[in-house]
């Protein structure tokens, strides 16, 4: 490849952008190569290829096929080094699988066992890569940080929902006790319990946006989730049992026979060897049956777990929800950074002082209005007053 230029296209085939020409072409022959994912929804995340000292020998794309997306999909992503290590490990396994086609036939028991283990590892790696189930190892520190951030987001969400509920309740009480609605005949119809409850509910839902509703099929979903988890555990047990039987069969096969297996053999030796081989064949057949049963249990359990998840309500994936949780995650990380710089005791003492003098630090609606009026009288601009004082 003498030079290269990238051009992107929309799903309908419309040309979008072109990159500069990288390299120095010295021959008039040009060729256009179209590369893409298996689906139109696949996302380009990187390049893959090989280079020499003076030229690029091969080039490919690394596409991300999104099978499931949640509100937190992009919150705790692995580093580029870990992602590269996972991809390199996958391709190493694929290369080992390709080498099996060119390796001589295994003769000894050790070679057969090594070949069998390698084939199983390659098949498992390919299955995990196909499903997107690459195992990313996280350190204990990373685990604690990420779990701490998630717990902080849950706390913030709880506070925001509680704050919205308090404001909706305050609105309902003010409408019910409002003298303007009581003595103004044109507004009397607003002072009805149905109207007030409807307005308070609308106000609460507008403040606590993206609130997940109460599940309608909780019992059915919990039963499916439990049964599916039990089936997945049973699949793991069956696979462990199959591995134990396979290792036992290989160990028995490696043991020396008490009868002759080569040369001149008696009918008794042939009978013993035939029974021995039949027993080994039965064990290997049982191992294969256990693995098939384990795969079926795993597939059925995963299907039941997915059905349970489909029955449960989910957080909205619209833009407002993404922005809300992204801002809360950024706030949690800022708080953690400030705690690391100032110490946790600083924020603990501050919170305790606020909680201990709650009546003096949190203003009621009337106190807030009086404060705003006094600030106006002093010539303070409205834009300088915190937004929460207006609601």
- Distance set, CA 235 to CA 43, 147, 290, 304, 391 (Å): 33, 29, 9, 14, 56
Contact 297, 242 (CB under 8 A): no
Contact 294, 235 (CB under 8 A): yes
pLDDT at 167: 92
Residues contacting 57, CB < 8 A, separation 6+: 1, 49, 50, 51
Instruction: Show pLDDT as tens, one digit a residue, over the chain (391 residues).
Output: 677 777 777 767 777 778 887 777 777 777 777 666 666 667 777 777 777 777 777 777 777 777 777 788 778 877 777 777 777 777 776 676 666 666 677 677 667 767 776 777 666 666 666 655 566 777 788 888 888 888 888 888 888 899 999 999 999 988 888 887 777 777 777 888 888 899 998 999 888 877 887 778 888 888 888 998 899 889 888 888 888 888 887 777 777 777 777 777 788 888 888 888 888 888 888 888 888 888 889 889 888 988 888 888 888 878 888 888 889 999 888 888 888 877 767 666 665 655 554 444 444 555 555 555 555 555 544 444 443 333 3
Specify whether the backbone of 348 is left (phi greater than 0), alpha (psi in -120 to 50) or beta.
Answer: alpha
Residue 113: both structure tokens together: 């066992």
pLDDT at 389: 37
pLDDT at 209: 77
């Amino acid at each position: 490849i003498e030079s290269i230029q990238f051009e992107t296209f929309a799903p309908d085939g419309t040309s979008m952008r072109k990159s500069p020409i990288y390299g120095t072409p010295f021959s008039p022959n040009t060729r256009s190569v179209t590369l893409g994912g298996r689906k139109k929804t696949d996302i380009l995340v990187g390049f893959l290829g090989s280079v020499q000292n003076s030229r690029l020998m091969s080039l490919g794309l690394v596409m991300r096929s999104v099978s499931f997306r949640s509100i937190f999909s992009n919150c705790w992503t692995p580093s580029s080094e870990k992602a590269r290590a996972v991809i390199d490990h996958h391709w190493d396994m694929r290369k080992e699988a390709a080498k099996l086609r060119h390796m001589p036939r295994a003769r000894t028991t050790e070679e057969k066992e090594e070949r069998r283990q390698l084939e199983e590892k390659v098949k498992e790696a390919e299955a995990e890569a196909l499903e997107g189930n690459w195992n990313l190892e996280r350190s204990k520190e990373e685990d604690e940080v990420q779990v701490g951030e998630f717990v902080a987001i849950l706390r913030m969400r709880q506070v925001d929902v509680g704050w919205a509920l308090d404001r909706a309740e305050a609105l309902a009480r003010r409408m019910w006790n409002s003298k303007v609605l009581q003595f103004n005949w044109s507004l009397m119809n607003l002072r009805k319990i149905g109207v007030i409850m409807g307005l308070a509910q609308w106000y609460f839902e507008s403040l606590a946006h993206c609130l997940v509703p109460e599940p309608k099929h909780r019992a059915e979903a919990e039963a499916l989730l439990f049964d599916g988890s039990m089936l997945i555990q049973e699949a793991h047990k069956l696979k462990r049992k199959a591995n134990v039987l396979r290792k036992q069969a290989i160990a028995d096969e490696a043991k020396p026979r008490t009868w002759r297996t080569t040369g001149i053999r008696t009918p008794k030796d042939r009978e013993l060897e035939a029974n021995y081989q039949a027993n080994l064949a039965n064990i290997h057949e049982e191992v294969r049956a256990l693995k098939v049963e384990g795969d079926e249990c795993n597939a059925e359990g995963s299907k039941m777990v997915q059905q349970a998840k489909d029955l449960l309500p989910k957080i909205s994936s619209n833009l407002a929800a993404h922005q809300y949780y992204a801002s809360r995650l950024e706030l949690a990380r800022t708080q953690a950074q400030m705690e690391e710089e100032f110490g946790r005791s600083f924020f603990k003492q501050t919170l305790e002082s606020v909680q201990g003098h709650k009546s003096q630090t949190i203003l009621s609606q009337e106190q807030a209005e009086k404060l705003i009026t006094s600030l106006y009288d002093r010539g303070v601009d409205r834009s300088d007053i915190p937004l929460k004082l207006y609601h």
